[in-house]
Amino acid sequence: MQAKIVTLPGDGIGPDIVAEAVRVMQQVAQQYGHTFTFEEAMMGGCAIDATGNPLPDETIAACESADAVLLGAVGGPQWSDPTAAVRPEQGLLKLRHHFDLFANLRPVKAYPALAQYAPLRAELLADVDILFVRELTSGIYFGPRQEQGNGTEAHDTMYYNVEQVERVARVAFEAAQKRGGKLTSIDKANVLASMRLWRRVVTDVATDYPDVTLEHILVDAAAMYLMKYPSDFDVVVAGNMFGDILSDETSILAGSLGMLPSASLNAGTFGVYEPIHGSAPDIAGKGIANPIATILSAALLLRHSLHLETEAQTIENAVNATLEQGARTVDIAADPAAALSTTAFTDQVLAQLK
Which are the catalytic amino acids?
141, 188, 220, 244, 248
- CA 70 to CA 298: how far, in whole Å? 7
- CA 342 to CA 14: how far, in whole Å? 12
Nearest by Cα to 185 from 109, 138, 195, 193: 195
In order of 21, 218, 326, the CA distances from 188 in angstroms are 37, 5, 42
Could you count the other beta carbons within 10 Å of the beta carbon of residue 22? 20
Compute CA 309 distance to the chain's CA centroid, rounded to the nearest angstrom: 19
Nearest by Cα to 172 from 212, 123, 118: 212
- CA 46 to CA 15: how far, in whole Å? 11
Amino acid at 75: G
Q: Which ranges constitute the DSSP H helices of the chain?
A: 14-32, 45-51, 57-64, 88-98, 162-178, 193-206, 219-228, 240-249, 251-254, 292-304, 309-324, 342-353
Instruction: Look at strands 182-187 and 68-73 and give their pairing.
Output: unpaired
- CA 169 to CA 134: how far, in whole Å? 9
Taking a C-beta distance cutoff of 8 angstroms, is the pair 69, 63 a contact? Answer: yes
